[in-house]
Structure 1
Amino acid sequence: MEPTENASPVPAIAQRVREARRRKDYTAQQLADQLRALGVAWDRATVTKLETGRRQGVSVVEWLALARALDVAPVHLLVPPSEIRYKPVPAAEYDADAVRAWVRGLAPLPGTNERIFYTETPADEWRDPGLPARAEAENEVSRYLVPGVGAARRAGLSLETVLAYIESQWKVSEALERGSGGEGV
């Protein structure tokens, strides 16, 4: 794909489909025939409209069928080469490599919540066996800490004051645990 500024999903899919179709030495009609065999009612004109930018949308089913018909992974149609910036959604732009890692489920997008990203990963996909427990613990802490931080900010407390309070409560908790034989309060 030619490096372009601010590529987005449908133009990226269109360009990548054209490249993959040509590599397979398919005509637009042959690709349409393959799609119809997969249950997607496209004709030669629909393929041509996509590739020339006159078709503005591709459904998830169509995207997956295109990948299957062209024998490529869906991510390779969706995300352009790494040398360009990419807009997976209209109001956010990232390096294509970051989007590819996100689509593959390998890493969250920059500026998004890493804890939630990894918490929502199916358990059998964890690459770090300790991560589920840490994510669960962070969820539990966040459930209480986030509202407290908001309340502290609304009350006009400084970060230093809040951190000092948390540290003092941490020490109290440790002392109570030691006093009860380390079994918790």
Structure 2
Amino acid sequence: MSSQSFESTRRRLTPKQADTVDRLCAAAVEVLREEDFAGLTVRTVASRAGVGPATAYTYFSSKEHLVAEVFWRRLSRSPRPEPSDSGRTGRVVAVLRDIALLLADEPGLSAAVTNALLGGDPDVEHLRGRIGLEIRGRLEGALGAGHDPDVLETLELLYAGALLRAGMGYGSYEQLADRLERSATMILE
């Protein structure tokens, strides 16, 4: 997907603006490799991206908004697992594992995402809704037609709780993926 196909939650973007947003998102990841979420500032990210702080705030209302956007972009760009003959449980496990491992190689970013998504900023709330709908859609596709809505909600709660635990440092994302697999299997079988 090209960066032009993404829209900031605050405005429509021209190609030049989309490039600026891409640079800000990439710079945020770079800063999070060196700093924890508490040390991240929009000003620092703007400097790293080569833009002024006022420009960065044109696109992102807060550092939480910026980090939530980075996660949204990674999630929406990640391919959905291909349908397989592995059955419902196998499909659901593949979805949960893919989402859990999305940030496994970026521990600073993964911890920041947990903090950011808990924020009350309206722009974060908007992205949290988009992220939730994307994950729900992936789980619905894996469950197949005629699935039990209570099972879907249980899987969503399972994932959200696991993400929170991993973001708090209670295990790695690889361990999270394994635990999600075992838990989803218990729920579905």
Shared fold per TM-score greater than 0.5: no
Bigger relative CO (Cα 8 Å, ≥ 6 apart): 2
Q: TM-score, normalised by structure 2?
A: 0.26
Q: Which has the higher helix share?
A: 2
Q: TM-score, normalised by structure 1?
A: 0.26
State the structure with more CA Rg.
1
Q: Which has the higher strand share?
A: 1
